[in-house]
């Protein structure tokens, strides 16, 4: 599976690194694309170096668009028309679209979650008008996967693997990192 992960200043570093790590452990191609620059300063000051600038990434070449949360990064990504276009393209073509924490705000801004079951950080629940907010660690609605926050990031990334036919990799990675899977996800 080829995954594209857009990042911007203010993203949540734990979510970002956990997602990248687990998807790369599974052997897939993971491209981290930085909005504006390849050097990103995350929400707690951690520096993350993206593989390439966002505008040099071609979303049509990827099977999954996986968006980390973090209020500052989400604000910047949601304000970028090419990010919203990519979200709509993934939604229209049925490719995997995944968002954690505050990142469902980007899906909302792109107009792709009306009537869908969505997990998100409690602080943004009221901002997702038209979506059905579900307070579960990870929620899957068709090809859209959402999760609540940093504490659910491992299960979120493992669920992405499950949904892309990599169940054995997800099980092996969970075992290797001593993660107990949520039975209801």
- Cα 105 from Cα 86, distance rounded (Å): 14
Asked if residue 155 lies in contact with residue 185, where contact means CB atoms within 8 angstroms, the answer is yes
- Cα 3 from Cα 165, distance rounded (Å): 14
Catalytic residue among 61, 101, 120, 185: 101
- Does the annotation mark 101 as catalytic? yes
Q: Which residues are catalytic?
A: 101
């Amino acid at each position: 599976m080829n995954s594209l992960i857009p990042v911007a200043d203010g993203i949540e570093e734990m979510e970002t690194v956990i997602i990248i790590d687990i998807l790369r452990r599974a052997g897939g191609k993971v491209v981290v694309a930085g909005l504006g620059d390849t050097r990103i300063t995350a929400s707690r000051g951690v520096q993350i170096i993206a593989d390439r600038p966002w505008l040099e990434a071609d979303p049509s070449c990827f099977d999954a668009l996986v968006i980390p949360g973090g209020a500052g990064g989400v604000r910047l990504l949601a304000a970028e028309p090419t990010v919203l276009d990519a979200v709509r393209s993934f939604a229209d073509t049925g490719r995997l679209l995944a968002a954690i924490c505050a990142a469902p705000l980007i899906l909302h801004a792109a107009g792709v979650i009306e009537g869908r079951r969505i997990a998100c950080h409690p602080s943004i629940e009221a901002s997702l008008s038209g979506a059905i907010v579900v307070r579960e660690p990870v929620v899957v609605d068709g090809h859209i996967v959402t999760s609540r926050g940093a504490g659910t990031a491992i299960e979120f990334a493992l669920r992405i693997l499950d949904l892309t036919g990599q169940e054995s990799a997800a099980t092996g990675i969970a075992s290797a990192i001593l993660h107990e899977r949520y039975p209801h996800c």
